Amino acid sequence: MTSRSPEQCFASYRSIILDFADFCEKLRHPLPVHLRINTLKALVTETCLRLTRLGIQWILEDPIDIVLRVRNGVRPGHLREYSLGHLHSQAFSSVLAGLILDPKPASLVLDLCAAPGSKTTLLAQLMRNNGVIVANEKNPTRLIPLRTNLKRLGVTNTISVCYPGQHFPKLLAFDRVLVDVPCSGEGTLRTGPDGTLRWSGQSGSRLPSLQRELLLRAFDLLAPNGILVYSTCTYNPDENESVVQCLLDNRPASIEPISLDIPHAPGLERWQEITYDPSIRLCWRIYPHQLDTVGFFLARVGRAN
């Protein structure tokens, strides 16, 4: 692990990130603290008033009225409202994955890589604790924080199971599937006090193969009229557009537009020597200089007609 500047760490992305200097400059600022209001247990207006009475400065992230940005220095886990399950610490971009999946109250939903449960509990909130969510986590020890968050946030429509995601049994067809895959996590990087990033120099080198397997299995579990969302918190095209291209090459999948009005960049048309299917431009790349949160990649997928 070495310390490097943002310009050094992400030099290979200079050609694909517009306003690269602004991107690097934003990485020199702390990651904002975002809190999701859990409407299974609390009301938005009352929760905001309670935070104000505690002297906590906040703003609602337009147009998502359940996400608050609070001043840096707030420690969410120390708040009574957090312990009561009224609030959950979750990056703004992570919330978007659940909103884009758009589960309905009667849906049968699979969260293929669920722990620690931030997105799972958001899906339950959007479904108003109706329907059924199957939350899968391959690592038994990670089921502990998953189940803790389900209980704290008052989720009652979710079953937790433990399978390797790429081998999840093909016993049911799901209306909605979320596959938020293990990734290199580049989007979470911000500089430390010395102005550098802690950098391993190995950006996802062993991950794309697993990510492709997970996405293919996720699609195989999708109902005929279902919707799938593939997401990562990295900028690496090998983990993003290239994985989606593998799906298009091997399954009757189609990339669907995302209707939210949120600042983003489109999916890439090409990377190095690879040219992607034109529909991949409908995917979203979220950069911190456009939306001050964790960097993210999002693809909304359906079955081709």
Active site (catalytic) residues: 233
Q: Which of 9, 6, 8, 34 is nearest to 291 (CA)?
A: 34
Strands 108-111, 174-180: pairing kind: parallel
Q: Which of 293, 292, 294, 301 is nearest to 267 (CA)?
A: 301
CA dist 81 → 19, 40, 64, 90, 265 (Å): 39, 13, 20, 15, 35
Alpha helices in 136-240 (DSSP H): 143-152, 208-220
Q: Say how far apart CA 85 and CA 41 lie, in whole Å.
A: 7
- Tracing tokens 């102005």 back to the chain, one arrives at 195
